[in-house]
Structure 1
Amino acid sequence: MQEEAGRPLYRAAQVRELDRRTIAAGIEGFALMQRAAMAAYGTLRGRWPAVKRLSVLCGAGNNAGDGYVIAALAALDGLEVQLYSLRDPASLEGDAARAAMMARQAGVAASPWTPQAELNGELIVDALLGTGLTGEVRAPFAAAIEAINASARPVLAVDIPSGLSADTGAMLGSAVRASLTVTFIADKLGLHTGAGPAFSGEVRLEALGVEPLGHEDLVPAAWRLGGETALPPRPRDSHKGNFGHLLVIGGAPGFGGAALLASQAAARLGAGKVSLATAPEHVTASLVRCPEVMVHGVRGASDLGVLLDTATVLVVGPGLGLGAWGQAMLQAALSAGKPLVVDADALTLLVSRWPTLKRDDWLLTPHPGEAARLLASSGAAIQADRPAAVRELVERRGGVAVLKGAGSLIADEAGLAVCPFGNPGMASGGMGDALSGLLGALIAQGLSLPAAARLGVVLHARAADQAAAASGERGLLAGDLASYARRLINGRTSDARDTSG
């Protein structure tokens, strides 16, 4: 996956091993700590050059050591530094103790944290808890995190926001909401999925001279996808038969909108032909909305007929319903022997009607609630460890799985990828239906399921980002995305005036 991905992401234990190997290779641990602190402080000064007062909160271990060195650097730079310790500096050992001594020598006295403590800095440096945290945050750290968040001041998190899981992106009881996170040696998976994007703010990696990919035995836990979305230009003698025939199956009686969104998104993304099999009462709406889609009113599976034979790929699920009509449509789709994108109601039907079915030629696109049903779990459990959940989906069901949400995850046999794009405006109806159409169109044009999943998720998220940049996040509709996705796949720069669906 390396050639298609932007940056390798690691688990906390892997980064600790990289740290150990770096020290064993001849770099003193305290020198590495100073290097990290200087990188963080340099980033701080670049981002907030006018700041005169800092509040630095330190816990224990190397994360606290980084904070103590930052406090010393700030004091030597002429800033007013307020330093709070949540562990007695006299109890620190090793490099952290040396860092605390460095702060004292720079004239910065640490005060013990109390619930009555006030944060006087214009900017807060979070050096409370590092990547080793596994259980829920306990006192007194929970109260300090609450005070940081309540202050409404900008926050620089050292390595990771305190309280965030470096491996899963879950909030462990409470977590610091940072404006900027400077992470060291290698990027962490948890910064980019689940609660990670909301609590980490902007993430900057300072590798400190370490090259993680040079350690071949430390396989990245995932890849952070890059923003490239353009496909190569088409040959001049192309015709529609070269780019596949996508059949969208959905829109049970009374639920036509989702299938219309999926089919129009597919048409905009370049499938050679797009057909829609939907309940007869939705035919007129489809013709009015997008006459380029070949819509067919179907009363039952027998009406699908030649459509299944001629299709290159099927998208099944948007507005499918859970009744007899939807069950019959899904049964026919599963029996057609064609690649499938399975979404929405089709995922729910898999749980009840095909609980053990496993295929290599399908792409499953659940949100956390649907993933919970597929794994007989709960939405909270899925969000507590999103990487494990999406990997388990592939293990149980085969093929490729996309676990939607902040930091959408894509899993296949080759590994795990995370999408760093998207925005809260996507929390609106129909977004998943548009995604399923985009994915189907890419498969119809010849992309493999894993490649289509990675490109489609990035296209979907980047299109939403461009739409939000043009008109704002609130009120962003799924139908807004298709024109932006079209521009992206053609390598065009977004035009804020182009908002047609």
Structure 2
Amino acid sequence: MLRCTDNLPLELYTAAQVRALDARIINDFGVPGIQLMLKASRALFSTFETQWPDCDALQVFCGKGNNAGDAYLMAALAVERGYTVRLWQVGDAPSAGDALTARERAEAAGVVAKPWRGELPDAGVIVDGLLGTGLKGDVRPAFAEAINAINASGLPVLAVDVPSGLCSDSGRILGAAVRASVTVSFIGLKQGLFTADAAECVGHLYFSDLEAPDAAMSDPPSVKRLLLECQHEVLPARARTAHKGHCGHVLVVGGDEGMAGAIVLAASAAARSGAGLVSCATRSAHLPGLLASRPEVMGHGVESVSALASLLAKASVVVIGPGLGQQRWGRALLSEVLKSDLPVVLDADALNLLGAKPELQRRAATIMTPHPGEAARLLDCTTADIHRDRFAAAAKLREITGASVLLKGAGTVIADDQGLAVSHYGNPGMASGGMGDVLSGVLGALLAQGLCASDSLRLGVCAHGVAADAAAALGGERGMLASDVIEQLRGVLNG
């Protein structure tokens, strides 16, 4: 699971952007590349000593690129300070440029590099300097074998810049990837460290800018990382004279036969997130259960489209999809909602219905919140295609629909009028039914309180994830329910 330190930058970059930044520091600001490597090695060594103060041995795995150069120089520092160091060379050794200079300095310091022949590391901390951000395709067999040996060792792992085998742009595992305990990233944080498979590989994430000149960092980032404390400011304090009419009216539409729970969760989340009024348009049979579980919500039995019109006239925001189903009833209600001029949050079965009718997509919603399967149906591709580049998938959905898009999953991705953003909040306990229903209710409530789509998305996804983390902290991840998250929302949003 990815665990971030509190002082990480918000700006995230692609590998190409970081290479350009690196070149600018060297060429325009006169900082030799070997000096950057020396600073990186010191940051690595400092992190190693802080994280594992009682360890006296390092097992360093090197390829031939700049990551290997950083690792060679770290090995030299360790030898000079009396640590036991074994350096394993996988494939060819560095033979040119700064990486070769680093290798030569390490050898001069007494580091002995041995070709790796399949040995399983058996002691100390492993340093992963195998592969860097330049990896394009799947890891080659020799490196995959080394990665598998590292993972099988059970030893703690310190990854240099990015865990080997993890795509630094998409966060996808390229055939095989190191499962690091700690990763130290340099110059600019890579966007792939925060989404897709990154949570399995990155461990604790630390960052060093290598004292890069501020003027060198002038290019805009490709993605922004979201922090809850930075999003809170978009939700103003309530006036002392506020009443429910000032805080918006959310209409939640859904809950076909047998799916009452989804609509209760979404409506409850909207109420706990500050909506002044919450109404539900659902099957009449669900009203007794709805009112018994959440009496603050106004329940309306809706068996036909005509019964929905008067409810739409009173609402300020519509959330549609939780438990909606994909039968005639759900299709009719969705069609009616999309005729209105209200802000709309589309989730769950509303997205599946939309995927079957591409002609509706350009007036689909103010906000849509697909998981990868729903995104694949909307984009007419596979879930593997979505996973291959979650940032590109979210951006494409926004381009097609004009909506502000929230692509669910580990490292939730947002594409809206502010660009691309990613949230690393949340935990595996959220892998249970109803979590998406809760999120849609949160977003509807924030829209109803006057926030724009972008601000609603960014605050909402952070609040939802932090509430889930708070629920997990109370009772653990396994067995966590969507209703547990709802009970944490009030505290998070008022924090």
Are the equivalent residues in 2 in contact too, given 1:81–1:121 (CA < 8 A)? Answer: no
Letter of the 1:20 counterpart: A
In structure 1, distance between residues paired with 2:325 and 2:273: 26
Change (3 A) 1:422 1:211: farther
One of 170, 173, 176 as aligned partner of 1:171: 173
Letter of the 2:273 counterpart: L
Which residue is 2:225 aligned to?
224
In structure 1, distance between residues paired with 2:20 and 2:228: 30
How many angstroms does 1:122 deviate by? Answer: 1.6
Which residue is 1:140 aligned to?
142
Which residue is 2:5 aligned to?
none
In structure 2, distance between residues paired with 1:405 and 1:256: 24
Change (3 A) 1:486 1:211: farther
In structure 1, distance between residues paired with 2:140 and 2:256: 50
The DSSP-based 3-state class of the residue aligned with 2:387 is: helix
Q: How many residues align?
A: 484
Are residues 1:13 and 2:34 paired?
A: no
> TM-score with structure 1 length normalisation?
0.94
How many angstroms does 1:483 deviate by? Answer: 2.1
Are residues 1:302 and 2:328 paired?
A: no
In structure 2, distance between residues paired with 1:35 and 1:150: 30
Change (3 A) 1:211 1:369: farther
In structure 2, distance between residues paired with 1:338 and 1:213: 45
Which residue is 1:30 aligned to?
34
Letter of the 1:171 counterpart: I
Which residue is 2:424 aligned to?
420
In structure 2, distance between residues paired with 1:330 and 1:461: 28
Which residue is 2:440 aligned to?
436
The DSSP-based 3-state class of the residue aligned with 1:484 is: helix
One of 196, 199, 203 as aligned partner of 2:198: 196
Letter of the 1:225 counterpart: L
The DSSP-based 3-state class of the residue aligned with 1:358 is: helix
Are residues 1:97 and 2:93 paired?
A: no
One of 449, 473, 494 as aligned partner of 1:445: 449
How many angstroms does 1:121 deviate by? Answer: 3.1
Letter of the 1:320 counterpart: L
Which residue is 1:496 aligned to?
none
Which residue is 1:462 aligned to?
466
Are the equivalent residues in 1 in contact too, given 2:417–2:454 (CA < 8 A)? Answer: no
- What is the 5 A alignment of 1:43-442? 43-89=47-93, 92-115=95-118, 117-210=119-212, 215-216=217-218, 218-228=219-229, 230=232, 231-359=235-363, 362-442=366-446
Are the equivalent residues in 1 in contact too, given 2:9–2:189 (CA < 8 A)? Answer: no
Are the equivalent residues in 1 in contact too, given 2:70–2:129 (CA < 8 A)? Answer: yes
Change (3 A) 1:16 1:250: same
**Structure 1 spans left out of the alignment, 5+ residues:** 492-501
> TM-score with structure 2 length normalisation?
0.96
Change (3 A) 1:6 1:225: farther
* Higher mean C-alpha displacement, 345-354 vs 465-474: 345-354
The DSSP-based 3-state class of the residue aligned with 1:276 is: strand
**C-alpha RMSD of matched pairs (Å):** 1.4
Which residue is 1:494 aligned to?
none
The CA deviation string for residues 84-112 of structure 1, in whole angstroms up to 9 with x for no partner, is 011343x5111111111122112121010
Letter of the 1:261 counterpart: L
Are the equivalent residues in 2 in contact too, given 1:11–1:166 (CA < 8 A)? Answer: yes
In structure 1, distance between residues paired with 2:203 and 2:359: 39
In structure 2, distance between residues paired with 1:402 and 1:106: 51
